[in-house]
Structure 1
Amino acid sequence: MSTANEAAPAPPAPADGYRSVFRVREFRPVFAAHLLSVLGIVVAEIALTVLVFRTTGSPLMSALTFALGFLPYALGGTLLAGIADRSPARRVLVGCDLVCAACAAAMVLPGTPVAGLLLLRCAMAFVAPLFQGTRNATLADILGPGEAFVLGRSLMRMVAQSAQLVGFGLGGLLLTVLAPRAAIALTAAGFLCSALLLRFGTAARPARAAAARTSPLAGMRAVLGERRLRALTLLFWLPPVFVIAPEALLAPYADGIGAGTAALGVMMCALPVGTVAGELWAGSMLGPRTRSRLVAPLAAAGMLPLLAYAARPGVVVVLAALLLTGLAGAYTLGLDQWYVDAVPDELRGRAMTLLSTGLMTLQGVGMALAGLAAEFLPVHVVVTGAALLGTAVVVLLLAELRCAGGPARGPRNETDSAAK
């Protein structure tokens, strides 16, 4: 049996879905660390927003605190991507967690000014894409680049989606019994626990490409220069730009149709609930070949339910449309397999870092564009237009992927035991 200081061989593909992934010894601490980190970030965002607002009395500064969770992603992911391949993965992961723990601890100090709080929030967001990309690349080492990797990635996404729903409620409850700085102290403790889990629960692996000391732009060219890999990357990046439109505009839409705050809260949960349900269905009920075959139809049809917005519907129809769009997100499991098959091993860290960076950055761009369009057009028109344009973009990307050589080489040494 391997120790935590020796890289274990990749396990065979799981035979019974998500349960088999948890049987992999190294995956369990990685999953627990991810859960702690995500909950910590959500709690920190709420507590920091409240702290800044109480200190300044400014809604703008409070909103800026949330925005700073998105803005540094593009810069950090671009400048730091090369580190994911030329440094040992465990060292990178532990180092990022310690940076975030130190930033959170500094926020707790009573004398930290508002400018300092915002700068520390930027620092946490700056290293986040490096952490996420390195962790995702390491998952392929721990689980193997096949079925187990796809299910592991799916679990990570479901945790992130669920943590947003649970974390905001948990953060609100914490702030009824704790001061904001005390809640942020829990975040610091969470990052420290995550660092310990990763340091002592995962194997030490050498750098993926010790000589890969390239400039950030060279790293982007290496990942995006190959036609098929570029098409796959864009297929991850661009659909969320359009899918985010109804979420970004739910508050004004609910106000426009006379829905109350309770209805708004339920509608805000519909898309992430649908996404988690879709991932669970695809991961539990479908095999790798079936998921691969469903990528194109689900991706192409995923935004079509949002066309219901054209009739300016009520709450029930909006809930159904958002839920169906979330369910269609199940195509990402098959897309994960295509992507990991397409990325050379020596580029995996950079590719995963850039993938995370683009996803987060472009969702922010999508929110901003949806808000800008809604300044000039009714919300239901904006969402309908986003659905039409997004569907056209996905169809074009699928056509480009086919021209670039097909979807993928297929699942590696695996059989599809699911019902066809």
Structure 2
Amino acid sequence: MAATRPGRPPGRHRRSPESQATYTEVIAIGEFRALWAGQCLSLLGDQLAQIALALLVFDRTGSPFATAAVYALTYLPPILGGPLLAGLADRYARRRVMIVCDLLRAALVGLMAVPGVPFPLLCGLVFSVVLLSSPFTAARAALLPEILEGDRYVAGSALQNITNQGVQMLGFAAGAGMIATIGAHRGLAVDALTFLCSALILVIGVRRRPSPPAEDDVQASLWSMTRTGVRLVFGDRRLRTLVLFAWLCGFYVLPEGIAVPYAATLSDDPRGVTLISGLLMAAMPTGTVIGAFMYSRLVTPAGRLRGMGWMAMLSCAPLIACAVRPPLAVVLSLWILAGMGGAYQLAANAAFVRLVPAARRGQAFGLVQSGLLAAQGIGILAGGAAAQILGPEPVVALAGAAGLSVAVLLAMLWTESRAEIITKVRTQVT
């Protein structure tokens, strides 16, 4: 398959960023299709791996804290190495960074699939696999704006988000049954295979590009690059607010980390716990699919920016109702509604891209992604520890209340920045 060069489809004129792009325009770009397909494959494998690990640990220990701790291992590694490794996406060709990361992750997950691997080594392998996701994600995020222009970037991000959440729905809802059929080790082997397929798709479908051009100290040491990235992201009030919006997900993702013990409060049957766990884990991704589609297709670019604060509050507020211990159908509805609120991340992401220089995008996105994963991991770990004492339902409600309070503060800060960014969206011509 020949790679398609980035740019506008033939015969199309430049559009104002205020114009809404269509999914058809985005899908017509071959390089985007390659990124899209590779990401979906590896994500599907990751869902199988997460379910396998969570069910294995809870079955062995019966401990919500131990289950959440292993689940948190899929979020915490970026705290240590993510900001440093993300700088590789601004030093080397981004396509090459992604391919190398995929191959290394395939090898590591392949080792995890070997029966008899000691549990501490298994945790170390999980840590290393997630650590490699930092440069991969940073490279992909920095490459996407080069492939998609203007509102096509928002449409492409929305399509990726919808598909990713759909894959998570499928992975969480059907993955538990699949793991019960093929076993945890075979599930991990499938995960390794998806990384290999992703690397092959990138080789075939994404064209070679040179390394990003040097800008000041972009080619300096990784430590210097990290310091520069921190100053860029947190030295600008607008970027700082957008980053905090992104990290708000540490509150509303917490329920996924304790979904298995939450399911245990709703069923005494082991098979029922497995099936309910999959439904609970799929609830928020389902809501995000719905919210991302509606937010990207029915709301103008400027409208998305104006509504970010309200959507952020919606991502946390429904979780508070879990305090009354509602039945499963109500819990699923509340979690789906919270997932719909999380669609505000599309607008935050698009605004962030407009404000960050192209040569700094890898480091900037890497810092944000690392902090985002760290926030999720810390939230899940704290939630598991609290659920050990209070039970899952009160912990989910407390996370919703705390997240709502932070979202209200961010919405107030955002009113000071959004007018300037909305004006830029309306006047800038891509």
Same structural fold, with TM-score higher than 0.5 when normalized by the shorter chain:
yes
Partner of 1:369: 382
Match of 1:243 among 238, 252, 258: 252
Alignment match, 1:41:
46
Are residue 141 (structure 1) and residue 146 (structure 2) matched?
yes
How far did residue 87 of structure 1 move? Answer: 1.1
**1:18 correspondence with 2:27:** no
- Choose from 154, 160, 163 the match for 1:156: 160
User: After the TM superposition, which of the residue ranges 272-281 and 210-219 deviates more from structure 2?
Assistant: 210-219
Tell me the equivalent position of 2:236.
Answer: 226
Letter in 2 for 1:281: M
Change in CA separation of 1:181 and 1:293 when aligned onto 2, cut-off 3 Å: same
Matches within 5 A, 1:9-408: 9=7, 17-46=22-51, 66-108=71-113, 114-144=119-149, 146-168=150-172, 170-175=174-179, 178=182, 180-210=184-214, 211-212=217-218, 213-214=220-221, 215=223, 216-238=226-248, 240-249=249-258, 261=273, 266-374=279-387, 377=390, 381-404=394-417, 406=419, 408=421
Q: How high is the TM-score relative to the length of structure 2? A: 0.81
Change (3 A) 1:118 1:402: same
The gaps in structure 2 that reach 5 residues or longer are: none
What is the CA-CA distance between 1:349 and the residue it aligns to? 0.8
Quick one: distance in 1 between partners of 2:419 and 2:329? 39
Q: Which deviates more from structure 2 when the two are superposed, residues 222-231 or residues 401-410?
A: 401-410
SS in structure 2 at match of 1:204:
coil
Residues 268, 26 of structure 1: alpha-carbon distance in 2 compared, 3 angstrom cutoff: closer
Q: 1:400 to 1:159 in 2, by over 3 A?
A: same
Letter in 2 for 1:121: V
**TM-aligned CA deviation for residue 345 of structure 1:** 1.5
Calculate percent identity across the aligned residue pairs.
36
Work out the CA distance in 1 between the residues paired with 2:350 and 2:26.
Answer: 16
Q: CA 1:69–1:402 in structure 2 vs 1: closer, same or farther (change >3 Å)? A: same
Shift of 1:311: 4.3
Q: Distance in 2 between matches of 1:44 and 1:271?
A: 19
CA deviation map 1:335-374 (0-9, x unaligned) = 2221111212121111111222122211121122333444
Give the total of aligned pairs: 408
Shift of 1:34: 0.5
Counterpart contact for 1:8–1:203, Cα < 8 Å: no
Distance 1:413 1:91 in 2: 35
Query: Which deviates the most, 161-170 or 340-349?
Result: 161-170
Deviates more, 1:104-113 or 1:296-305: 104-113
What CA distance in whole angstroms lies between the structure 1 residues aligned with 2:203 and 2:95?
7
Unmatched 5+ residue regions in structure 1? Answer: 416-420
Q: Which amino acid aligns with 1:325?
A: A
Change in CA separation of 1:26 and 1:400 when aligned onto 2, cut-off 3 Å: same
Aligned match of 1:418: none
Instruction: Give the CA deviation at 1:99.
Output: 0.8
- What amino acid maps onto 1:8 in structure 2? P
Instruction: State the Cα distance separating 1:264 from its structure 2 match.
Output: 6.0
Change in Cα spacing, 1:304 to 1:113, as seen in structure 2 (3 Å) is: closer
Q: How far apart are 1:232 and its partner, in Å?
A: 0.7
Q: Please report how far the alpha carbon of residue 237 of structure 1 lies from its aligned counterpart in structure 2 after TM superposition.
A: 0.4
Secondary structure of the 1:411 match is helix
The TM-score with structure 1 as length reference comes to 0.83
Q: Which amino acid aligns with 1:411?
A: V
Contact 2:138 2:365 in 1 (8 A): yes
Deviation digits for residues 160-202 of structure 1 (CA, Å, limit 9, x no counterpart): 3222332245544554664654443333332222112112211
User: Which deviates more, 333-342 or 58-67?
Assistant: 58-67
Which letter maps to 2:425? Answer: P
CA contact (8 A) 1:51 1:181 kept: no
Superposed displacement of residue 22, structure 1? 0.7
